[in-house]
């Protein structure tokens, strides 16, 4: 069983990561701000243009610690990886199965059926917790539709058709997503999913949390020697983490979407944490990102976060 450890998030402008023996050290303006033993860490995520020493990169590669670099807005820039680990026979089996249309459709329909089931759970939870504020009839209609789509997904034997079912389910789910937001409606409204860049506060939250979830899933796959870029539902494309995207489908509603709704409805974030860019799109400030990373997708283990 794989033990889940901590992830170190670094957001301080001008921070520099280095190695000191068996410790990861963070310095700002040549002053040490933080250190942690390397055996406590399973991942490091750096936001913005930060520096890391070659010795630290080598240590991360040696210890199989995922070191990822993201832009200030959460877009993936790159990552440091060491030698390919795990069982090569496992990866060869993965590649053969990915080329098998029958197996690909069988496992893909499980991914999508699980995603739709979790979408239903999010809506059902909203009815249970906010029956007085939520639009019950609208949400109940979406739940019924998702139930039908879930059954269709489980019977589907063609990935092209399955993608259509998933698209229709997502359309119905996100079609009522705004009804799940019961607080701060003037600042947090949802008129449909948009990204690259996100055009409103809710989409900015969703995109950022999905980025964190992708990092988690990819790191988990690599830690057991599976290639995260060879998937079954998402087609192969240079640079695309197809299997990580496949795997995270069913986690999106239950972990990411629920987290976003909770933060908004409990007023743990507000409109002050979002900035509209001149070029278009919405970005979040560090305080809002800090709240999201502290919550960390519902996982029970500890997280470390800079700035201190």
**Domains located in the chain, CATH noted:** 1-83+286-308 (3.100.10.20), 88-268 (1.20.120.920)
Burial class (CB in 10 A: 0-12, 13-18, 19+), 198: buried
Categorize the per-residue pLDDT at 45 as very low, low, confident or very high, splitting at 50, 70 and 90.
confident
Which of 2-6, 8-12, 92-96, 273-277 holds the top average pLDDT? 92-96
* Residues 272, 219: Cα–Cα separation, whole Å: 32
Say which residue, 48 or 159, is predicted with more confidence.
159
Contact 173, 146 (CB under 8 A): yes
pLDDT tops 60 at residue 4: no
**What pLDDT is stored for residue 21 in this prediction?**
85
Query: Stretch 270-280: mean pLDDT, rounded?
Result: 75
**What pLDDT is stored for residue 77 in this prediction?**
72
* Residues 43, 274: Cα–Cα separation, whole Å: 27
pLDDT tops 80 at residue 49: no
pLDDT tops 60 at residue 200: yes
Categorize the per-residue pLDDT at 18 as very low, low, confident or very high, splitting at 50, 70 and 90.
confident
Categorize the per-residue pLDDT at 148 as very low, low, confident or very high, splitting at 50, 70 and 90.
very high
Summarize the chain as % helix, strand, coil (round to 5): 50, 15, 35
**What pLDDT is stored for residue 300 in this prediction?**
38
> For 178-197, b where at least 16 C-beta lie within 10 A, e where not — what string?
bbbbbeeeebbebeeebeeb
Say which residue, 271 or 145, is predicted with more confidence.
145
Residue 205, CA distances (Å) to 117, 241, 264 in order: 22, 21, 10
Lowest mean pLDDT segment, chosen from 178-182, 186-190, 262-266: 186-190
* Residues 188, 54: Cα–Cα separation, whole Å: 42
**What pLDDT is stored for residue 149 in this prediction?**
92
- The string of pLDDT tens digits covering residues 204-239 is 888 888 888 887 788 778 777 788 888 888 887 777
pLDDT tops 70 at residue 25: yes
Categorize the per-residue pLDDT at 303 as very low, low, confident or very high, splitting at 50, 70 and 90.
very low
| Mean pLDDT score across all residues of the chain | 80
Categorize the per-residue pLDDT at 116 as very low, low, confident or very high, splitting at 50, 70 and 90.
very high
Residues 6 or more apart whose Cβ sits within 8 Å of residue 29: 14
Say which residue, 31 or 289, is predicted with more confidence.
31
pLDDT tops 60 at residue 97: yes
**What pLDDT is stored for residue 291 in this prediction?**
65
* Residues 17, 34: Cα–Cα separation, whole Å: 10
Query: Stretch 157-186: mean pLDDT, rounded?
Result: 88
């Amino acid at each position: 069983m794989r033990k889940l450890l901590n992830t170190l998030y670094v957001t301080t402008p001008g921070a520099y990561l280095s190695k000191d023996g068996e410790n990861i050290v963070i310095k700002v303006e040549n002053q040490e701000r933080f250190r942690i033993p390397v055996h406590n860490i399973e991942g490091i995520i750096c936001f913005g243009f930060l520096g890391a020493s070659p010795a630290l990169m080598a240590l991360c590669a040696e210890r199989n610690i995922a070191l990822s670099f993201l832009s200030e807005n959460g877009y993936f820039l790159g990552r440091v990886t060491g030698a390919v680990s795990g069982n090569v026979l496992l990866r060869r089996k993965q590649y053969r199965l990915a080329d098998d249309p029958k197996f690909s459709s069988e496992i893909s329909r499980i991914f999508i059926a699980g995603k739709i089931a979790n979408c239903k759970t999010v809506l059902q939870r909203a009815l249970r917790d906010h029956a007085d504020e939520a639009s019950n009839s609208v949400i109940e209609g979406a739940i019924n539709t998702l139930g039908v789509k879930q059954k269709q997904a489980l019977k589907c034997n063609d990935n092209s058709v399955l993608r259509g079912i998933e698209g229709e389910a997502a359309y119905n789910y996100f079609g009522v997503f705004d009804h799940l937001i019961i607080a701060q409606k003037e600042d947090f409204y949802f008129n449909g999913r948009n990204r690259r860049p996100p055009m409103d506060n809710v989409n900015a939250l969703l995109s950022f949390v999905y980025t964190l979830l992708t990092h988690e899933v990819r790191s988990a796959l690599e830690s057991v020697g599976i290639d995260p870029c060879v998937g079954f539902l998402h087609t192969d494309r240079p640079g695309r983490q197809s299997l990580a995207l496949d795997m995270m489908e069913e986690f999106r509603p239950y972990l990411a979407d629920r987290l976003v709704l909770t933060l908004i409805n409990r007023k743990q974030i507000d409109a002050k944490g979002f900035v509209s860019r001149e070029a278009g799109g919405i970005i979040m400030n560090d305080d809002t990102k800090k709240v999201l990373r502290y919550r960390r997708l519902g996982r029970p283990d500890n997280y470390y976060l800079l700035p201190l």
